[in-house]
Amino acid sequence: EDQVTQSPEALRLQEGESSSLNCSYTVSGLRGLFWYRQDPGKGPEFLFTLYSAGEEKEKERLKATLTKKESFLHITAPKPEDSATYLCAVLGSSASKIIFGSGTRLSIRP
Amino acid sequence: DGGITQSPKYLFRKEGQNVTLSCEQNLNHDAMYWYRQDPGQGLRLIYYSQIVNDFQKGDIAEGYSVSREKKESFPLTVTSAQKNPTAFYLCASSITGDYGYTFGSGTRLTVV
Concatenate the DSSP letters of all residues of A45-59 into one string: EEEEEE-STT-EEEE
- Say whether residue A101 is in contact with chain B using an 8 A CB cutoff: yes
CA dist A41 and A53 (Å) reads: 33
Host H or E run for residue B111: strand B107-111
Residue-level pLDDT at A94: 78
Residue-level pLDDT at B98: 61
Residue-level pLDDT at A10: 97
Residue-level pLDDT at B103: 96
Judged by CB atoms closer than 8 Å, whether chains meet at B90 and A44 is answered as yes
For residue B67, the Cα-to-chain-centroid distance in whole angstroms is 10
- Say whether residue A72 is in contact with chain B using an 8 A CB cutoff: no
Identify the segments of chain A with pLDDT beneath 70.
none
Residue-level pLDDT at B6: 97
Residue-level pLDDT at B100: 83
Residue-level pLDDT at A2: 85
On whether the CB atoms of residues A5 and A90 are closer than 8 A, the answer is no
| Residue burial A38-63, b: 16+ Cβ < 10 Å; e: rest | beeeebbeebbbbeeeeeeeeeeebb
Q: What is the pLDDT along chain B (112 residues), one digit of tens a residue?
A: 679 999 999 999 998 899 999 999 999 999 999 999 998 788 999 999 999 999 999 999 999 999 999 999 999 999 988 889 999 999 999 987 667 899 999 999 999 8
Chain B residues whose CB is inside 8 A of the A36 CB are 100, 103
Query: A4 to chain B, minimum CA–CA distance in Å?
Result: 10
Residue-level pLDDT at B99: 74
Count the helices and strands in chain A (H runs, E runs).
0, 11
End-to-end CA distance of chain A: 41
Residue-level pLDDT at B97: 64
Judged by CB atoms closer than 8 Å, whether chains meet at B100 and A46 is answered as yes
